[in-house]
Structure 1
Amino acid sequence: MEVTESRDASDRYTVEIYDLPVWKYSWLKWRLSRIFRLKSRERTIISLDERFQQLGSDEGEVSIEWDIWSGFIVVSIDKYSENLVIKIRDYLKSKYE
């Protein structure tokens, strides 16, 4: 698996693991929440082809997502949150590359 980074159409910093299966979404979201002390800001939205939840800490706000087109995604909610997503990226690279 490869961890990639980019900016979405709204210029938010984004990290992806394209081929991570949907059944790993909840576990990996839980793991990232524990490691980075993320607290839920809303309930998880679940449909047939996507899942997403906004979480945050003192370091920033992120959306942790999965969809059928892109796989597992972590998105910075604002510029302040980019450092948090970079830390998450480094963790994901250490585990999945």
Structure 2
Amino acid sequence: GSHIDETAAKFTEGVNPGGDRNCFIYCSNLPFSTARSDLFDLFGPIGKINNAELKPQENGQPTGVAVVEYENLVDADFCIQKLNNYNYGGCSLQISYARRD
């Protein structure tokens, strides 16, 4: 059966794109093959990350969505400037500030 990563599910639960300026980044349109370690490789060079998780579907399948928490607001700003519409694994990343509903 499928195993849901509880930590990832909790961290990404109720998080949506289009938030006000904050340290949380919402990234969608990631390749389904993306692993959690890839998130640190992709977002890590921009600034210090507190956490990064892939949002799982309830059946454990990938969604192509990730939530990244930067330590500094400036790094979050830079991430959006640098990686929004960035071509990653053939996909054009959609990146915005996250909001938790």
Shorter-chain TM-score tier: 0.3 to 0.5
Query: Rg bigger for which structure?
Result: 2
TM-score (norm 2): 0.40
Which structure: greater helix fraction? 1
TM-score (norm 1): 0.41
